[in-house]
């Protein structure tokens, strides 16, 4: 499973990515998780299953959906509480439930 977290610069989600990777490892789930700025999303589509959008850039949702949903890639806004508290396990679960 490949998950991309989209934020404005690709930086604010880096801690969340680490926590998600740890949660996946603890659960024995094979997953590839990265964070990218929206401008780099088009370069990361190969094998992509889920795009999670940072709450601070939720205004990009429509644009991202129109771009990736025709490619059968699921999209959602990261739960703002889980994002703010850097709860990697909850965000990982959100991505898994989309798949």
Question: CATH number for the domain including 26?
Answer: 3.40.50.2300
pTM score of the predicted model: 0.94
Average pLDDT score over the chain: 94
| Residues of the domain holding 82 | 2-98
| 2 vs 24: CA distance, rounded Å | 12
Is pLDDT above 90 for 11?
no
Number of structural domains found in the chain: 1
Contact (Cβ atoms closer than 8 angstroms) between residue 7 and residue 13:
yes
Residue count of the chain: 99
| 56 vs 32: CA distance, rounded Å | 23
Residues with active-site annotation = 7
CB atoms < 10 A from the CB of 31, how many?
Answer: 18
What is the per-residue pLDDT for 10? 59
Higher pLDDT, 9 or 65: 65
What is the per-residue pLDDT for 8? 82
- Give the list of residues 6+ apart from residue 11 with CB closer than 8 angstroms, or none: 35
Instruction: Express each pLDDT in 22-56 by its tens digit.
Output: 999 999 999 999 999 999 999 999 999 999 999 99
What is the per-residue pLDDT for 9? 73
Of 66, 5, 54, 10, the C-alpha closest to 31 is 5
Contact (Cβ atoms closer than 8 angstroms) between residue 73 and residue 2:
no
């Amino acid at each position: 499973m490949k998950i991309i977290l989209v934020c404005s610069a690709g930086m604010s989600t880096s801690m969340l990515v680490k926590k998600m990777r740890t949660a996946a490892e603890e659960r024995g789930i094979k997953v590839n998780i990265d964070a990218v700025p929206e401008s780099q999303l088009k370069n990361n589509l190969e094998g992509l299953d889920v795009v999670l959008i940072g709450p601070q850039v939720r205004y990009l949702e429509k644009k991202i959906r129109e771009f990736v949903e025709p490619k059968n890639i699921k999209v959602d806004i990261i739960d703002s509480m889980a994002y703010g508290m850097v709860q990697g396990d909850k965000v990982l679960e959100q991505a898994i439930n989309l798949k």
